[in-house]
Amino acid sequence: MSDTHSDVIVQLVWYSSAVLLLMTLMLLLLTLFMHYERRQREKSRQQATEQWTPILFSWIYSPEQTTGPLPQLNAEGFGFVVQLWLQLEQTVRGSASTRLAELAQRLDLIPVMKQWLHGYSTDKKLTAIMALGIVQEKSAFAELLPHVLDKRTIFSLVAARALLSIDAKLGLPVILSQIYRDDWSVSRVAGLLVRLPHDLMVRSVTECAEKATAKELRRLIKLMHILSPIDSQPLIQQALTQYPDEMELLTTAFASAVSPDLLPLLRQQVEHPQWEVRVQLAKALARLGDSSDAPLLLNMLSDPNWWVRYRAAQSLISLPGVDEAQLQLWQQQLTDPFALAILLQVKEEQQRQHQGRT
Amino acid sequence: MGVKTVLLVEDDELIGKLLVFILQRDGYQVEWLKDGQQAQELVLSGRDFSAVVLDLMLPFFDGLFLLELIRNQAAMASVPVLILTSKMGEEDIALALKKGADDYLVKPFQPPELSARLRRLIGKQG
């Protein structure tokens, strides 16, 4: 009975070992195969790069000299050449870029890119979006549109760039409709829009602002402030009248104000319940205000919030035409000890800074 | 008159190859270095060049450091330096020019424009 039992155990161990050995061998073979595949792929990439780099470079200057038959490409080689072409397209501009786009036509790139756009490979899809944008393929506009709405940031931004490149007039409203997206930094969006015709950009942003929520309007003001500060002023005016209780929007609006025309509206916020807004008002008055703002700023020296008092004192001292005699006069007139203390503190800080510089 | 040599400092493989192609096509001999350390050693060696095409973002030492080094080396102090970079901020441009760059081009660039600017710089130098 015990001998039979031992035989079964020995048999089990033997079979298990055999299975394990077989699996190890299979894994080893698979690893070797993958290694071989990788080396072959790298070799193909190198061959394609060596063969095609000079062709692409020459094409930049004189496509007419390269109109002979281009070297044959298999599917893998085609992928490498497309990558190379794309890199080069992002390196040069002007006539060089136009000539490279002509080469794309010769390579029959567009139908392949459209296939890649609808395929499963993420890399190929991204490449296709970029390539179709670069060659400004109008027939791809509708197919690229859904990619702007993609939740993946990189896809949506690359697609946005492609749409603008193909048709800025049609693409811009689509892109601005996504301005609420937190994953799209305003500076990145500004980077997309910076080379567009100024009038088109201003008109589209202004139209988009008309129906914008407070959050969208805040981002549109930031965007316009980067691209054209003076054109952000109507949006600031809209923010102050349409959303007087939206603190984040108002602080952005105050920080972006560059036109003294906005002063009457800005001054109205002196009693705003949120101190962050009143601080921004004090700072804006330093940039845009004049001597007529002195009474307002003197009042703000008695604000319950320390930061408001501090910024108001700084702004008061920096107002045009304010000299030591004027400051002395105000000091004597101030009855609120907090107001007097903050004015003296800021005055002393400025004197120290001045001494440090000289 | 001998062939003029341009020192190219560019870490990107494809852009470097393209620049070598453009410069050789324009008739220059090209010494291409791919990082700031190699470039620093070459600058300190005291070799003379007709011009330098310099990227700003480089491994080890950045382009601005190299620019200062070039301007402090007797052998290279007057060599024209053209900055070719993707940094397009006003401050970057102003700083590079302040530190002694003779010209500044932003990537993506137009190859004929690069050739023309370099030709003008080298011509000015005589």
ipTM attached to this prediction: 0.89
Look at residue A1 and tell me whether its pLDDT is greater than 80: no
- Residue A22: predicted pLDDT: 96
Q: How far apart are CA A235 and CA A210, in angstroms?
A: 9
How do residues A302-333 score in pLDDT, each as one tens digit?
999 999 999 999 999 999 888 889 999 999 99
Q: Across the interface, do A57 and B17 touch by the CB < 8 Å criterion?
A: yes
What is the nearest CA distance from B112 to chain A, expressed in angstroms?
A: 9
Mean pLDDT within A285-306? 93
Question: In this structure, are residues B73 and B80 in contact, taking their beta carbons and an 8 Å threshold?
Answer: no
How do residues B37-80 score in pLDDT, each as one tens digit?
999 999 999 898 999 999 999 999 999 999 999 999 988 999 99
Question: In this structure, are residues A73 and A81 in contact, taking their beta carbons and an 8 Å threshold?
Answer: yes
Domain span including residue B35: 5-123
Q: Which residues of B touch A92 (CB under 8 A)?
A: 18, 108-111
Look at residue A204 and tell me whether its pLDDT is greater than 90: yes
Look at residue A52 and tell me whether its pLDDT is greater than 70: yes
Residues of B with CB under 8 A from a CB of A: 14-15, 17-18, 21, 25, 107-113
- If you measure CA to CA, which chain A residue comes closest to B22? A57
Q: Which string of b and e fits A257-285 if b means at least 16 CB within 10 Å?
A: beeeebbeebeebbebebebbbbbbbbbb
Question: Mapped to the 3 state alphabet, what secondary structure does A42-62 carry?
Answer: HHHHHHHHHHHHHHHHHHHHC
Token pair recorded at residue A276: 């962050």
Q: How far apart are CA A342 and CA A228, in angstroms?
A: 36
Look at residue A280 and tell me whether its pLDDT is greater than 70: yes
Token pair recorded at residue A25: 């061998």
- If you measure CA to CA, which chain A residue comes closest to B107? A91
- If you measure CA to CA, which chain A residue comes closest to B85? A91
pLDDT band (50, 70, 90) for residue A350: confident
SS3 B51: strand
**What beta strand segments (E) does chain B contain?**
5-9, 29-33, 51-54, 81-85, 103-106
Q: How far apart are CA A54 and CA A77, in angstroms?
A: 15
Q: Across the interface, do A61 and B111 touch by the CB < 8 Å criterion?
A: yes
Write out residues 55-114 of A within 8 Å (CB-CB) of B.
57, 60-61, 84, 87-88, 90-97
Q: Which residues of A touch B109 (CB under 8 A)?
A: 91-93
- Residue B82: predicted pLDDT: 97
Q: Across the interface, do A94 and B112 touch by the CB < 8 Å criterion?
A: yes
- Residue A68: predicted pLDDT: 66
Q: How far apart are CA A292 and CA A295, in angstroms?
A: 7
Q: Which residues of A touch B18 (CB under 8 A)?
A: 57, 88, 91-92
The identity of residue A113, as a single letter, is: M
**Which among B83, B104, B101, B111 has a CA at the least distance from the CA of B23?**
B111
Q: Which residues of A touch B85 (CB under 8 A)?
A: none
Q: Note the helical H segments in chain A.
A: 2-61, 75-89, 95-106, 109-117, 122-134, 141-148, 153-166, 168-176, 186-193, 198-210, 214-227, 233-242, 247-256, 263-267, 275-288, 294-300, 306-318, 324-333, 337-357
> The CATH number of the domain where B72 resides is what?
3.40.50.2300
Q: What is the mean pLDDT of chain A?
A: 91
Q: Which residues of B touch A91 (CB under 8 A)?
A: 14-15, 18, 107-109
Q: Which residues of B touch A60 (CB under 8 A)?
A: 111
Token pair recorded at residue A109: 């790139």
The fraction of chain A above a pLDDT of 70, given in percent, is 97
pLDDT band (50, 70, 90) for residue A126: very high
SS3 A277: helix
For A86, counting Cβ atoms within 10 Å of its Cβ (0-12 exposed, 13-18 middle, 19+ buried), the class is middle
Look at residue A64 and tell me whether its pLDDT is greater than 70: no
Count how many domains chain B has. 1
Q: Across the interface, do A96 and B111 touch by the CB < 8 Å criterion?
A: yes
Q: Which residues of B touch A57 (CB under 8 A)?
A: 17-18, 21
Q: Phi and psi (nearest 5°) for B117?
A: -65, -40
Mean pLDDT within A88-106? 91
**Which among A349, A287, A341, A351 has a CA at the least distance from the CA of A315?**
A287
Q: Which residues of A touch B110 (CB under 8 A)?
A: 92-96
- CATH class, domain A259-350, is mainly alpha
**Which among A340, A293, A336 has a CA at the least distance from the CA of A318?**
A293
Radius of gyration (Cα) for chain A, nearest Å? Answer: 33
Look at residue A357 and tell me whether its pLDDT is greater than 90: no
Q: What is the mean pLDDT of chain B?
A: 93
Question: In this structure, are residues B55 and B14 in contact, taking their beta carbons and an 8 Å threshold?
Answer: no
All CATH 1.25.10.10 domain ranges of chain A, comma separated, are 259-350
Nearest to A91 among B107, B112, B113 (CB): B107
Token pair recorded at residue A343: 């004015």
pLDDT band (50, 70, 90) for residue A69: confident
- Residue B90: predicted pLDDT: 84
Q: Across the interface, do A94 and B25 touch by the CB < 8 Å criterion?
A: no
- If you measure CA to CA, which chain B residue comes closest to A90? B108
Q: Across the interface, do A57 and B15 touch by the CB < 8 Å criterion?
A: no
CB pairs under 8 A between A and B: 37
Only one residue has tokens 């952005």, namely A252
Q: Across the interface, do A92 and B14 touch by the CB < 8 Å criterion?
A: no
Q: How far apart are CA A182 and CA A250, in angstroms?
A: 19
- Residue A63: predicted pLDDT: 66
Q: Across the interface, do A92 and B21 touch by the CB < 8 Å criterion?
A: no
Question: In this structure, are residues A173 and A204 in contact, taking their beta carbons and an 8 Å threshold?
Answer: yes
pLDDT band (50, 70, 90) for residue B89: confident
- If you measure CA to CA, which chain A residue comes closest to B86? A91
Q: Across the interface, do B110 and A90 touch by the CB < 8 Å criterion?
A: no
Question: In this structure, are residues B97 and B106 in contact, taking their beta carbons and an 8 Å threshold?
Answer: no
